[in-house]
Amino acid sequence: MSVRYLSCGDTAFTVEFGNEISPEINGRVMALHAAIGGARDAGDLPGVVETVPTMRSLMVAYDPLATSRADLQPGIDLLIARGLPTGMASRRVTLPCCYDDPEFAPDLAEVAKRTGKTTEQVIAAHLASPFKVYVLGFMPGLAYVAGLEQSLYLPRRTQPRVRVPRSSVAIAMDMTTIYPFESPGGWHLIGRTPLWMFDKRREQPVFLSPGDSLSFQRIDRKTHDRIAREVEAGSFDWAKLVNAP
Amino acid sequence: MSAALKVVRAGLFDTLQDLGRVGFMALGMPTAGAMDRVALSLANALVGNSANTAGLEIGVMGPDLLVEADSVRVALVGPLSPALIEGPDVPPKPIDSDRSHLLKRGQMLRLGMVEGSSTAYLAVAGGFALAPFMGSLSTYPRAGVGGFEGRKLAAGDALPLARDHASPGDDRKLAAAFDYGRGPVRIVWGPQEEYFTDAGRRTFVESDYRVSKEADRMGIRFEGPIIEHAVSVAKGGADIISDGIAPGAIQVPGAGLPIVLLSDRQTVGGYPKIATVASVDLPRLGRLLPGQTVRFQAISVAEAEKLRREQEARLVRTIADFKAARPPGGIDLARLYEENLIDGVVFEPART
């Protein structure tokens, strides 16, 4: 599979692996993201500033005072030619989610109606979906998480909400997401996690990373409120949500 | 009492910025950073700071700042009208931009409108005593991070200073204004130039585009002739699968008008990007005002890199050519005595 190099001025270029969304293409994106990270850790590819993975491409940002496109591109070609690992191990992350309060899940009944399911079946389908974090963007910590069970696919709301509460769990198209901030939003709100996807007090303020495997665990309102208090106080143990690869 | 600059009156959009928060775009974190990297670097150099020290980026109108330190050396770069030092017992005195100034406790720096540019910069010797967020002091208000409490300055804020008094020595000034270049804004085609017809690409580089009122740290929306997409907008011609956004990326949504994305731009986006502003001209973009008109000119990646390196060399020369700033009429003897520098300076030939 060949790649295309797209110019992004004199401080970046994009390595495009394809023009479609597929786990195989994203796997190669993430593998190159990791390979460049590894090369930089080893002192190679000087002048590379950072890499930005998306569904189907990797943007490589560089400092034109330290290197050049002509110097860098052969190094990237070489990494690709050496063969990118497939099926890379990923973190497995479990997020608690409360679906059981109309305040948290204002769109659950409508989603059920439009997909011909009961609300319990919608929740079961969300819990059973094999989610994967593809890309973070739009705002810090906002993850586009694909893998939603196909029977739940719906377009975005025709009338976006002006105010979606922080930590709302939402679905649209083939994806789910968790709002890191209170913000406008057009996705269907089906639950809420007590966790903050962006917490500037934490050493790693953004919890999810591209490549993470993700699943949800159902909790009741009481458990939600207890965890929410711990998160607010900064005493919550985030490590227990993560199984290292 | 710890040293601080106290905001007595806030300006319109004043934020602390360094050269940006790099390394976290993969987590959706925008880089933020100074809109005019050249001006911030010069302001920092005038007070002896490294280029990446956070300074105050002044948008549209500056603040009144009271010195709550024994002394502090500051540098202003960019035209402010007026810029005054006053009090406590001295009437307001106009001060020049593009140089440093020594301020004493109780004095107030009063900064008015930024003229002929959208931004001006204030650097303080030694910088601000604030904790960086993800490695940077650049303020990104949408996430409430960086700078002073993650937001623009407000009356009553006390910006902690790293030094409680200024080091002795002359103030310094630019020998000549930095040349940002004139003529067209240089761009490199791509990443998605093939999403536009040949006619659309010609329109883009052969027309004048005017800065609209929708211009801020996130980007500039331009007004002018419509750029034609290769596939009709109804058939998805203005949609791509989101990819990374470099500084200066020029996206063209369905309406066919270009938007140049700048410091506070989001990390990824789903509109096709016809071209990217060469980094040499990003500081010029960071200075544009609504109503101003630009023309875009395409160059190659290699040319853009070369122009950037030449600009950096010019910046280094400009800093090497700083002159000692003396008050009108000659040497400020009182200050020289005060700083115990008289032996070293009086018999030294005039510097040029």
Give the confidence band of B344 by pLDDT, cuts at 50, 70, 90: very low
* pLDDT given for residue B330 in this prediction: 54
Burial of B310 (0-12, 13-18, 19+ CB in 10 A): exposed
Give the confidence band of B349 by pLDDT, cuts at 50, 70, 90: very low
Contact residues on chain B for A206, CB-CB shorter than 8 A: 24, 27-29
Asked whether the beta carbons of residue B28 and residue A14 sit closer than 8 angstroms, the reply is no
C-alpha dist (Å) from residue A222 to A129, A218, A219, A229: 25, 12, 8, 11
Contact residues on chain A for B249, CB-CB shorter than 8 A: 8-9
Give the confidence band of A107 by pLDDT, cuts at 50, 70, 90: very high
CATH number among 3.10.450.50, 3.90.170.10, 3.80.30.20, 3.30.1360.40, domain A4-81: 3.30.1360.40
Interface of A with B in 205-244 (CB under 8 A): 205-206, 209-210
Contact residues on chain B for A172, CB-CB shorter than 8 A: none
Give the confidence band of A83 by pLDDT, cuts at 50, 70, 90: confident
Contact with chain B for residue A61, Cβ under 8 A: yes
This complex has an ipTM of 0.92
The 10s digit of each residue's pLDDT in B110-166 is 999 999 899 999 999 999 999 999 999 999 999 999 999 999 999 999 999 999 999
The 10s digit of each residue's pLDDT in B163-198 is 999 998 889 999 999 999 999 999 999 999 999 999
Averaged confidence pLDDT in chain B: 92
Q: Does pLDDT of A178 surpass 90?
A: yes
Name the segment(s) of chain A with CATH classification 3.30.1360.40: 4-81
For Cα atoms A125, A126, A130, give the angle at the middle one, nearest 5 degrees: 95
Q: Tokens for B88?
A: 């406590």
Q: Does pLDDT of B341 surpass 50?
A: no
Note the helical H segments in B31-102: 37-46
Mean pLDDT score, A96-106: 96
Question: Quick one: which of A180, A93, A166 has its CA closest to A138?
Answer: A180
Note the helical H segments in chain A: 23-41, 69-81, 108-115, 119-128, 221-233
* pLDDT given for residue B32 in this prediction: 98
Interface of B with A in 240-299 (CB under 8 A): 241-249, 266-269, 273, 276-280
The 10s digit of each residue's pLDDT in A117-136 is 999 999 999 999 999 999 99
Mean pLDDT score, A209-225: 96
Q: Which residue in chain B has the smallest CA separation from A71?
A: B302
Q: Which residue has the higher pLDDT, B343 or A221?
A: A221
Q: How many CB atoms lie within 10 A of CB A37?
A: 15
Q: Kind of pairing, strands A92-97 and A242-243? A: antiparallel
Contact with chain B for residue A56, Cβ under 8 A: yes
Contact with chain A for residue B166, Cβ under 8 A: no
Angle separating helix axes A69-81 and A23-41, nearest 10 degrees:
120
Q: Does pLDDT of A182 surpass 90?
A: yes
Contact with chain A for residue B19, Cβ under 8 A: no
Give the confidence band of A96 by pLDDT, cuts at 50, 70, 90: very high
Contact with chain A for residue B188, Cβ under 8 A: yes
**Distance between A91 CA and the closest CA of chain B, angstroms:** 15
- Name the pTM for this structure: 0.91
Q: To the nearest 10°, the Cα dihedral for B291, B13, B89, B127?
A: -120
Q: Tokens for A127?
A: 């819990």
Q: Does pLDDT of B82 surpass 70?
A: yes
Name the segment(s) of chain A with CATH classification 2.40.100.10: 92-243
Q: Does pLDDT of A85 surpass 80?
A: no
Give the confidence band of B343 by pLDDT, cuts at 50, 70, 90: very low
Handedness of CA B38, B43, B47, B50 (dihedral sign): negative
* pLDDT given for residue A1 in this prediction: 61
Give the domain B185-311 fold.
Cyclophilin (2.40.100)
* pLDDT given for residue B346 in this prediction: 39
Name the segment(s) of chain B with CATH classification 2.40.100.10: 185-311
* pLDDT given for residue B332 in this prediction: 53
Contact with chain A for residue B103, Cβ under 8 A: no
Q: Tokens for A231?
A: 């998160």
Beta bridge partners of B57: B15, B121
Mean pLDDT score, B306-327: 94
Query: SS3 breakdown of chain A: % helix, strand, coil, rounded to 5?
Result: 30, 30, 40
Helix (H, G, I), strand (E, B) or coil at B223: strand
Question: Quick one: which of B156, B59, B157 has its CA closest to B148?
Answer: B157
Give the confidence band of B327 by pLDDT, cuts at 50, 70, 90: low
Contact with chain A for residue B189, Cβ under 8 A: yes
Q: What CATH class is the domain A92-243? A: mainly beta
Contact with chain B for residue A145, Cβ under 8 A: no
Contact residues on chain A for B241, CB-CB shorter than 8 A: 19-21, 54-56
Contact with chain A for residue B72, Cβ under 8 A: no
Interface of A with B in 75-134 (CB under 8 A): none
